[in-house]
């Protein structure tokens, strides 16, 4: 009986150890570009609709010919009293069979994901029109949140994740030559795919780790 209990205990300890070694984690997406690699962590529990849409584009390889094509900086938004700093990417403004139907707008008031340095969010026109275009914050942008002044409707933008590696690449893209807000030479996205983990020794562009 004692031996049986000892064996059972050892088995339970092994299972506990395995559980600790494989904790549940949020999905990671590796964006490989002509300017370098970017890793995004998405938050499906907080923004389920937006993350599901984004991951469908990734999993179905709809972004594999996409680009980062727009940069918004202090020097190229003279008509906006509320300034932001972001880079925008996706399929672009052209008609495309790769584009999926628009999704329901998840506000930052609902998700609790605010527009800070490295936040990934959805570009949109009216609420409920976001589909394929996304942007990355190069600095904190509270006016992009719910009740913010960047969009007159006050609904803000649907944040759904954060860059955890490669903000140096994002910042470099943000500084590239542009004609107004459109990059003269868009940065090609050569691949976007899910990854299980990222190299621990990759420190460049880290914004503070996963959360």
Consecutive 10-residue averages of pLDDT for the chain (211 residues)? 38 39 76 98 98 98 96 92 95 94 98 98 97 98 96 96 98 98 98 86 48 41
pLDDT at 81: 85
Which fold would CATH assign to domain 25-195?
A: Cyclophilin (2.40.100)
Query: Which of 197, 172, 196 minimizes the C-alpha distance to 185?
Result: 172
Give the count of alpha carbons within 13 A of 110, CB side only: 18
pLDDT at 145: 98
Structural domain spans, the chain: 25-195
pLDDT at 39: 98
pLDDT at 208: 46
pLDDT at 29: 98
pLDDT at 142: 96
């Amino acid at each position: 009986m004692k031996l049986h209990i000892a064996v059972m205990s050892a088995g339970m300890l092994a299972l506990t150890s395995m559980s600790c070694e494989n904790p549940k984690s949020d999905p990671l997406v590796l964006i490989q570009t002509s300017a370098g690699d970017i890793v995004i962590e998405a938050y499906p529990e907080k923004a389920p609709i937006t993350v599901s849409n984004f991951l469908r584009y990734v999993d179905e390889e709809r972004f594999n010919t996409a680009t980062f094509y727009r940069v918004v900086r202090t020097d190229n938004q003279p008509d906006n009293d509320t300034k932001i700093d972001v880079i925008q990417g996706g399929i672009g403004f052209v008609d495309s069979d790769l584009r999926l139907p628009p999704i329901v707008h998840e506000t930052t008031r609902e998700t609790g994901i605010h527009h800070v340095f490295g936040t990934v969010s959805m570009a949109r026109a009216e609420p409920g029109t976001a589909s394929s275009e996304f942007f990355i914050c190069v600095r904190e942008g509270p006016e992009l949140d719910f009740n913010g002044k960047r969009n007159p409707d006050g609904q803000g933008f649907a944040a759904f994740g954060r860059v955890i590696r490669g903000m140096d690449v994002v910042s470099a893209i943000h500084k590239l030559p542009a004609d107004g807000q459109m990059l003269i030479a868009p940065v090609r996205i050569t691949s976007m795919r899910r990854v299980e983990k990222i190299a621990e020794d990759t420190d460049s562009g880290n914004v503070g780790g996963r959360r």
